[in-house]
Structure 1
Amino acid sequence: MRRTDQLFQIIQILRRSHRPVTAQRLADELEVSRRTVYRAVADLIGQRVPIYGEPGLGYLLGPGYEMPPLMLTPDEIDTLVLGAQMVSELRDTALAGAANDVIAKLAAVAPEHLHGHFAEPGVAAKPSPDDAADAADSRALRAAIHSGRKLRLRYRSADAELSERIVWPVALGYAQTHFLLIAWCENKAGFRHFRTDRILAMDVLDEPIGVRRGELRKRWVRWREAERRQLGEGA
């Protein structure tokens, strides 16, 4: 690992931790010696990076520090490129276009020695199967999720039954063959997953959902975990 990459990686490790990070933990993640970590931390402090602590106790990054943008490592670039490739394979035209735009913007401003990681990436996503369902335009759905607005759906079930639902959207779930709107259904008084290719019509209502969006997502996570436990017990 280049010295510059090593310094920025130390900053990144400290940024994602809310507790002191020991030199040994840094050394293990970077696959270097503790002495190398001590020297690197000293260099960062000398460059006025607000790192607090000392050997034996651990290090913390001071609040409010902003790492210079786009100082990406090759692994981080591969992660972003792979993620963009996977999004592009989802057949959601809005997100696919956004994913390609993000990579193009990053490639345009990345240091020259990293250009090859964008132009000839070392990762590749598996193409979507030919029978994958085309997603509806997700922009309206995602806008309703972000704004916490209820949706009125006209929906066709797997057995062709038609129904109208008022739902509280939680998130959009993506798989290779289909896409799901995860929502609390007022009609069924419970969480349901709606295939987006079976949504015949949708209206975003002015009425907000009944709880904070973050709380609704927490409730869905608890429901999902309970469902998984129940399936495990029945196996």
Structure 2
Amino acid sequence: MSRTSRLLDLLQLLRNRSTPVTGPDLAQELGISIRTLYRDIATLQGQGADIVGEPGLGYVLRPGFTLPPLMFSADEIEALVLGSRWVAARSDDHRLSQSAQQALAKITAVLPKDLRERAEATNLLVARNAPAPAQVDASLIRLAIRNEHRLTITYRGPDGAETERTIWPFLIGFFDEARVVAGWCELRAAYRHFRIDRITALTERGDRYPRRRAVMLKEWRTINSVPPQA
């Protein structure tokens, strides 16, 4: 086992424990000597891990720890790179696309040299095939979802007719041909799905809708195996 892999495993062991675990127990699980364990604990603490404890008493990793670069395995790095490149290449939301590029740059900037080179040289590429462009700022929809706020939208149906809807948005689906926002529609008194490229205007009302997003999502998943037409 490489030292990087061993440190990753040690971090994971500490994350899985809510109470202090002794050094000998950790060393036995990792198959290393107690002296090696103490050095690894010191290395992780030097990387910023908030590990508290003393030899003989036990160690615990405090919550809220910002993980150091060595948190990622090679496969995890490739998954992050692929996901970020997909969003950057195929999102019709400029802000989301830009954020994906910035996030990837931040990740690669702090990686150890070998993992950084692996990330930059990965052969996992994403074709640039963006969906139909949105006529509104899609970031406002994502903001409304985060804040659990109502939206009033003007929506153009497949027949070209426009209607005004007040919706409680809770999810955006990313498909090859379109982006779709799911929400409770006050006009239909039911869950409906709206292609974002057919929303011609929207207003963020600033007031919370009366149900929690997580509750609606669970209910929607239960009753909407086939999405109804908006």
Query: Where does 1:1-235 land on structure 2 (aligned, <5 Å)?
Result: 1-12=1-12, 14-15=14-15, 17=16, 36=31, 49=51, 61-64=60-63, 66=65, 68-71=67-70, 72-92=72-92, 93-125=94-126, 127-129=127-129, 132-135=131-134, 136-211=136-211, 215-228=212-225
For 2:17 and 2:161, locate their aligned partners in 1 and report how far apart those are by CA, in whole Å: 50
CA contact under 8 A between 2:89 and 2:129: conserved in structure 1?
Answer: no
For 2:159 and 2:142, locate their aligned partners in 1 and report how far apart those are by CA, in whole Å: 27
Q: Describe the superposition over 1:106-130 as per-residue Cα deviations: whole angstroms up to 9, x where unpaired.
A: 22222222221232114233x2547
In the superposition, relative to structure 1, how do residues 13 and 156 fare at CA in structure 2: closer, same or farther (>3 Å)? farther
Tell me which amino acid in the other structure corresponds to 1:69: P
* Sequence identity (%): 27
Give the RMSD, CA atoms, in angstroms. 3.3
Tell me which amino acid in the other structure corresponds to 1:117: R
CA contact under 8 A between 1:156 and 1:200: conserved in structure 2?
Answer: yes
For 2:175 and 2:39, locate their aligned partners in 1 and report how far apart those are by CA, in whole Å: 45
> How many residues are treated as equivalent by the alignment?
208
Q: What is the deviation of 1:223?
A: 2.5
Q: Describe the superposition over 1:18-77 as per-residue Cα deviations: whole angstroms up to 9, x where unpaired.
A: 789xxxxxxxxxxxx9662787867656777459xxxxxxx9954437264222322221
For 1:176 and 1:206, locate their aligned partners in 2 and report how far apart those are by CA, in whole Å: 31
In the superposition, relative to structure 1, how do residues 137 and 12 fare at CA in structure 2: closer, same or farther (>3 Å)? farther
For 1:108 and 1:195, locate their aligned partners in 2 and report how far apart those are by CA, in whole Å: 36
5+ residue gaps in structure 2? 20-27, 46-50
5+ residue gaps in structure 1? 21-32, 52-58
Normalising by structure 1, we get a TM-score of 0.73
